[in-house]
Amino acid sequence: MTFSEDFWPIGVGMWLGIIMLINVWGVIWPNQKRALGIIEVNADTKDKSAKKAMLFSRTNTLLSIPMLVGMTVAQNGFA
């Protein structure tokens, strides 16, 4: 099964969105629970978890712009 070549940007946007979803549910949220004290951990682990959550959250922020552009370019026919 093949798709029109005009729609590859929405596929790129979709994959970026999936990466962002995995970042949130697999990395950011578990580390945020530790950093916020929802899960009891020692202070060193809390600091490391806060930094890791911050870095992955920034990564998601950077990925959100090309994801949005890829998904809107596909519907407007600029590809």
Q: What tens digit of pLDDT does each residue of 40-59 get?
A: 999 999 999 999 999 999 99
Contacts of 20 (CB under 8 A, 6+ apart): 60, 63, 64, 67
CA quadruple 35, 37, 38, 40: dihedral sign: positive
Neighbours of 59 (CB within 10 A): 15
pLDDT band at 3 (very low <50, low <70, confident <90, very high): low
Both tokens assigned to 46: 């809390």
| pTM, entire model | 0.81
Residue matched to tokens 């979803």: 21
pLDDT tens figures, 11-42: 888 899 999 999 999 999 999 999 999 999 99
